[in-house]
Amino acid sequence: MPHTSTRTANFEESVIRRMTRVAMEQGAINLSQGFPDFDPPEALTRALAETAAKGPHQYAVTWGAANFRAALAEKQRHYMGIPIDPDKHVTVVCGSTEAMMAAMMSVVNPGDKVVVFSPFYENYGADAILSGAEPVYVPLEPPDFGFDRDRLRAAFAQGAKALILCNPSNPTGKVFSREELLSIAGLSEEFDTWVITDEVYEHIVYAPAEHTYFASLPGMAERTISCSSLSKTYSITGWRLGYTIANEKTTDIIRKVHDFLTVGAAAPLQEAAVCALGFPQRYYDELLAAYTRKRDLFLRTLDEAGLGYTRPAGAYYVLVDIGEFDRTDDNRFCEWLAQEVKVAAVPGSSFFREPVRNLIRFHFAKKEETLLAAGERLKGLRSIWAARGYKT
């Protein structure tokens, strides 16, 4: 057989997706891969049915259907507080995953350094490999996940071309404070770097935390490629509707990269989703209230199960400390948990560059009944562990 590419030689299967498979095999409640088990808003599914009947069913404009981009630009202008021209600044892509990849391919040359906070969402590592970039990791220190400004500065000083910023953060639930973001902004100006954001949890930020869009900071819109999607905000992760917002010149390049990668996001889904982009503020308030209830319910469960965790300020994940059970192998612990307790989590080590083995990630984007059922099982964890232990 001819050789396959060296670029992909060190690729590993996504641990998040693997844990979903393990959950299915074991009949475990899947709190690993983060996606809702509840329906999207009815207005959206109704619009989808109408679109099935009346179309469009052929390609949309490569960089996004005009009505979708117009509605998106209006909504994001409102929340981000910056001018956004749908014809100049917006590219609609296949999920934020493509948004990040297209952004990286547009601004990074092979061999360039890209600053990534660790722990990080696993795709950023693959994005770096595929675009030939070399990641420079800066630790977010558990349990609070703050960063050392001098270390960050040293990372920029290595000649960074870009920084990747996931805010609110997956997997930590950290919401970067305005001060932290201003300090990143200062460094990106000083070292003249891009900032590529992943802000898919922009509407899931628990009071009193507040989301600051990086592009809204003074002078930052020019050097920021804001990536996000409709997946989490409207509970439609399978629709794969993502986008980038960037300055006009960069958008022109991102559009070409996107065109050659995927041509376009699904036309009927863009059409159906236009209605969601026009939802009133009440929708976002209710979304947040629902996620706040889910978070509080799940954290109560963890308290009752006697498990330690870092309280998430945003997104729908929580990192739980399993050090008292296993300090050396979180993969093994997650396999055991799925098999014996019938709840699936993601081993924390798949997010960390550092040798952290005592954390696992649960997500709580689930119906309250699912979370309650998972909670009942987790409350039994300690006694199942004591009764059977884990034989290596």
Question: For binding to ligand GLN (CB under 6 A), which residues are involved?
Answer: 16-17, 33-35, 121, 170
CA 222 – CA 242 distance, rounded (Å): 20
Residue 19 CA: distances (Å) to CA of 36, 96, 210, 271, 335: 16, 21, 31, 33, 8
CB of residue 314 to ligand GLN, shortest distance in Å: 13
Cβ proximity to ligand GLN: between 193 and 350 the closer is 350
Nearest distance in Å: CB 350, ligand GLN: 10
* Closer CB to ligand GLN, 34 or 314, in the complex: 34
User: What minimum distance in Å lies between the beta carbon of 58 and ligand GLN?
Assistant: 27
Min dist. Cβ of residue 14 to ligand GLN (A): 6
Least separation in angstroms between residue 351's CB and ligand GLN is: 9
> What is the Cβ-side half-sphere exposure of residue 357, based on CA atoms within 13 angstroms?
11
> Rounded to whole angstroms, how far apart are CA atoms 172 and 311?
9
Peptide bond preceding 168: is omega within 30 degrees of 0, i.e. cis?
A: yes
Of the pair 98, 340, the CB lying nearest ligand GLN is at 98
Nearer Cβ to ligand GLN (137/317): 317
Nearer to ligand GLN (CB atom), residue 68 or residue 121: 121
Q: Which is nearer to ligand GLN, 80 or 200 (CB)?
A: 200
Q: Which is nearer to ligand GLN, 84 or 204 (CB)?
A: 204
**What Cα–Cα distance (Å) separates residue 83 from each residue in 4, 86, 189, 196?**
45, 10, 21, 18
Could you tell me whether strands 90-94 and 241-245 are parallel, antiparallel, or unpaired per DSSP bridges? antiparallel
Give the closest residue to 233 by CA, choosing from 268, 271, 205: 205
Residue in the shown chain whose Cβ atom is closest to ligand GLN: 34
Smallest separation, CB 361 to ligand GLN (Å): 8
Rounded Cα–Cα distance for residues 114 and 153 (Å)? 13
As a 3-state breakdown, the chain gives helix, strand, coil percent values, each rounded to 5, of 45, 15, 40
CB of 302 to ligand GLN, least distance (A): 18
Q: Which two tokens stand for residue 309?
A: 């965790």
